[in-house]
Amino acid sequence: MPNLEEHSKHSQKRYGVRGEEIHSWIDEPSQVAGGSHRDYRHDLSSLQTAIQLFGEQYGVEMVENIFLDHLRAYCQEQRKRAEELAKYGLCSPKRWTKEDDYLTRNLLDKTDYEMEANLKGKSKYAIRKRWEYLWLIHPKILRTNKKKPKEKVLVFRLKREQKFYLRMEIFGGERDIEFSVKDSKDYIFSPHRIFVEKKFEFVPEITGNYYFIFNCDCSWLTAEYANVFYYLENGREIKIFIGF
């Protein structure tokens, strides 16, 4: 789906104003509803509210134009996705199903073959397309090596400007670990010592693999572990347990 910057650039090109406040307000429910936020403010009944809020700043006609363009972009993307999913016999993209619950719960611990067997013969490709539609992402979990026995690395392949959120809860010992983020070459977030909990938001500038590194070398005498929660901007939150 178009993000705030893409919506704003379109408005700038078409009307000479970015209308960021309007686009941001339309998508604001995403902070609570996640991928279901388009069930709110993405219909004509919300247009009058938008006019009341932004009419004085932009004028009634401009608010209406920007609002309708935002809805049009959403509808076009929905139609495109629905047509693509239909090719592979997947369920209606407008409904969250038992199959989607299964995909979400077993994202981390089921193989592609197990998924196929439990989803009535759905192909691996179809399953991955459904994951993509649901904004679910599967990490590569790298085991520690002999040189760094208390380090764990989660690798995610992220798309350019795709917002990624991560939070961690640390338990055991002094409840502290060292956390950092790297791309294929350099640190994006240099090593920092984290206590108890941490929230991290990341928007990659280029598509590629990103390495989220958890290091517990600072605590050799006591066992520590972390619950790591992550999600893409429009997806559901996934939980990973990491023990050191």
31 & 78 share domain: yes
Percent of the chain with pLDDT over 90: 8
51 & 105 share domain: no
Q: What is the pLDDT of residue 210?
A: 92
pLDDT tens digits, residue range 184-223? 888 888 888 888 888 888 888 888 899 998 887 766 666 6
| CA nearest to 151, candidates 179, 132, 189, 190 | 179
pLDDT tens digits, residue range 182-194? 888 888 888 888 8
The overall pTM is greater than 0.75: no
158 & 224 share domain: yes
64 & 111 share domain: no
204 & 227 share domain: yes
115 & 32 share domain: no
The answer, yes or no, to whether residue 97 has pLDDT greater than 80, is: no
Residues belonging to the chain:
244
81 & 113 share domain: no
107 & 42 share domain: no
13 & 68 share domain: yes
113 & 169 share domain: no
Within the chain, residue ranges assigned H as helices are 4-15, 20-27, 30-33, 47-58, 60-86, 98-105, 112-118, 124-133
Out of 19, 53, 85, pick the residue that ends a domain.
Answer: 85
Domains: count for the chain = 3
Range of the domain at 107: 91-133
Residue 197: CATH number of its domain: 2.60.120
